[in-house]
Amino acid sequence: MGRYGWDRDELYFLQAAKHPALGYVDFPPVTAWVGWAVHEVFGDSLVALRSTGLVAACATIVLVALMVRELGGGRAAQLGAALGWALTPFVLGSGSIFHPTWFDALAWVAFLALAVHVVGRPAPRLWWTLGVVAGLGFQAKYTIVFLLAAFVLGLLLTHERHVFLTREPWIAFGLCLLLAAPNLYWQFQHGWPSLHFASSQNTKTAADTPPAAYVAEQILFLGAMVAVVAIGVVWLWRRERLRVFAIVPVAVTLIVLLERGRGYYPLPADSLPLAAGAVALEAWRPAAHRRRALLVALAALQLAAAVVIGQIVLPFRSTRSMVESGIWKNSYYKDEIGWPELVSATARAWRSLTPEERRDGVVLAGNYGEAGALALYGPEFGLPPPLSGHLSWQYWRPAGLPQGFALTVGFGNLQSICSSHRALATIDNRWHLDNEERGRTIDACVLRKPLDALWKPLIARDEL
């Protein structure tokens, strides 16, 4: 689970766990609080952190089986849906990185599992549970609003719209807001930084994930289960009381596409139609050989997808094989390589400074990945605690910053903060893998003003 090393996001989340708060610039607090609990028990354990995502994903597998049972499926359908979901490359990658995605996925699948019970039976007294799950999901990742928007749209477009004339959905909405309130208050206190971040993230995602890539990612991350999901959408549409759940996965996919989100954002919404597709296939009664051939073909395709695409989300290969094969170009592995080398180069540069520069100086990282690596590995190299203005790191700083000198790591535009500067090292890694850090410089910088005066206008930033 920790084969290649810490991902840049994981280094960030580890430091967030050491600074528990009600909110952060670019994510809600659940991930940090989970990280805090893990750190209290296991310390700086990458495997322990990543195990939390695996646990969350395993919970979604159980919930998929329960959805099959709720829809009337037998044991064969429950087992088939659970295995099919478990073998999607999306779920297989859950233990490969500590990330809000897995807590978000659990919230989505739990919401759908409850919603199909509340709306399908119906069970109006249980509407409050939807509000609780939605509120907790909002504290895990803001993208749950896409699911809630699709669910409301599905209700409005079907005969289930009458529920809005009852008090239960509004009670659920109130509970959701109540649970979301602490984070919303933090956002208000800090000037709504997540809105600024979302704007910059959307710009980057739009460039990285055009519509064709968005659709391709969804197919790759679901594998052969795409066919089962499609069958499930049709099955749900043909049942009037469940029609809302045929609309939800389609609507949420379109909403995220228009919002220019990542291709994997809406995938948890496919869990319910996958469960419905398993029920439909179990009830299908063609000639025995046709049924057997279809199920064997689906199983074979899903296993092939798990093996082929799994290399992108699971560390099957050795580091050398991963680098030489080029798999890193299509995965997040490139962000797991080179952090110890970056810190070692920074330590050499720090030791090369004069005693006066070190006495009046700080180590200032350009982004949260560099800052996280310096915080994790820096003490063993004799480095002082790093500072950074990137995202939530901007708040993890001493009250006073009178320093007039900085050893900058990875800064792009030094002219804005330095009256003079000199390059001391160029960042690289032992594999010479061309990741985001390679080629950046470590510089000695005489600051134009004391760091306090530069912090807010030129160093702190809410954008990627």
Residue 312's nearest CA partner among 332, 296, 297 is 332
Q: What is the phi/psi pair of residue 418, to 5°?
A: -110, 135
- Alpha-carbon distance of 47 to 332, in angstroms, equals 17
- Whose tokens are 């766990």? That residue is 17
Neighbour tally for 25: CB within 10 Å: 22
Across the range 67-89, mean pLDDT stands at 95
461, β-bridge pairs: 390
Contact present, 224 and 298 (Cβ < 8 Å): yes
Pairing of strands 441-447, 405-409: antiparallel
Residue 454's nearest CA partner among 409, 396, 414, 424 is 414
How do residues 120-166 score in pLDDT, each as one tens digit?
Answer: 999 999 999 999 999 999 999 999 999 999 999 999 999 999 999 99
Across the range 59-80, mean pLDDT stands at 97
What's the whole-number average pLDDT of the chain? 94
84, β-bridge pairs: none
Residue 63, classed as helix, strand or coil, is helix
- Alpha-carbon distance of 248 to 115, in angstroms, equals 11
Question: DSSP H helical segments within 240-314, as ranges?
Answer: 244-259, 271-283, 288-308, 310-313
Specify the DSSP element, H or E, that contains 371.
helix 368-377
Report the Cα–Cα distance between both ends of the chain, in Å, rounded.
Answer: 27
How do residues 255-312 score in pLDDT, each as one tens digit?
Answer: 999 988 888 999 999 999 999 999 999 998 776 667 778 878 888 888 888 888 888 8
How do residues 415-460 score in pLDDT, each as one tens digit?
Answer: 999 999 999 999 999 999 999 999 999 999 999 999 999 999 999 9
- Please tell me the predicted confidence (pLDDT) of residue 293: 83
Longest dimension (CA), the chain: 85
Contact present, 257 and 218 (Cβ < 8 Å): no
Residue 279's nearest CA partner among 224, 231, 225, 222 is 231
CA distances from 188 to 74, 141, 224, 459 (A): 49, 17, 44, 21
- Please tell me the predicted confidence (pLDDT) of residue 256: 94
How do residues 371-382 score in pLDDT, each as one tens digit?
Answer: 999 999 999 999
Residue 10's nearest CA partner among 37, 44, 43, 41 is 44
Residue 2 has pLDDT above 80, yes or no: no
- Alpha-carbon distance of 149 to 147, in angstroms, equals 5
Amino acid, single-letter form, for residue 280: A
Contact present, 276 and 232 (Cβ < 8 Å): yes
Residue 117 has pLDDT above 90, yes or no: yes
How do residues 310-362 score in pLDDT, each as one tens digit?
Answer: 888 888 889 999 999 999 988 889 999 999 999 999 999 999 999 999 999 99
Q: What is the phi/psi pair of residue 201, to 5°?
A: -65, -40
Q: Percentage of residues in the chain with pLDDT exceeding 90? A: 83
Task: State both tokens at 457.
Answer: 């206008």
- Please tell me the predicted confidence (pLDDT) of residue 304: 84
- Please tell me the predicted confidence (pLDDT) of residue 19: 98
- Please tell me the predicted confidence (pLDDT) of residue 310: 83
Residue 13 has pLDDT above 90, yes or no: yes
CA distances from 286 to 81, 200, 238, 291, 299 (A): 20, 52, 20, 6, 18
Across the range 370-399, mean pLDDT stands at 97
Neighbour tally for 186: CB within 10 Å: 18
Across the range 165-182, mean pLDDT stands at 98
Q: Comparing 197-201, 250-254, 336-340, 407-411, which segment has the lowest mean pLDDT?
A: 197-201
- Alpha-carbon distance of 397 to 400, in angstroms, equals 8
- Alpha-carbon distance of 456 to 191, in angstroms, equals 13
Amino acid, single-letter form, for residue 191: G
- Please tell me the predicted confidence (pLDDT) of residue 199: 87
Comparing 94 with 289, the larger pLDDT belongs to 94
Contact present, 4 and 323 (Cβ < 8 Å): no
- Please tell me the predicted confidence (pLDDT) of residue 254: 96
Residue 1 has pLDDT above 80, yes or no: no
Q: Percentage of residues in the chain with pLDDT exceeding 70? A: 99
Indicate the Cα dihedral angle 321, 324, 329, 332, nearest 10°: 30
**What region, left, alpha or beta, does residue 201 occupy, with left being phi > 0 and alpha being psi -120 to 50 degrees?**
alpha
Residue 293, classed as helix, strand or coil, is helix
Distance, CA of 398 to chain centre = 29
CA distances from 408 to 79, 182, 218, 361, 368 (A): 54, 35, 39, 10, 13
Contact present, 96 and 27 (Cβ < 8 Å): no
- Alpha-carbon distance of 20 to 187, in angstroms, equals 15
Residue 58's nearest CA partner among 41, 83, 38, 27 is 83
- Please tell me the predicted confidence (pLDDT) of residue 288: 63
Instruction: Please calculate the CA angle 402-455-386 and round it to the nearest 5 degrees.
Output: 75
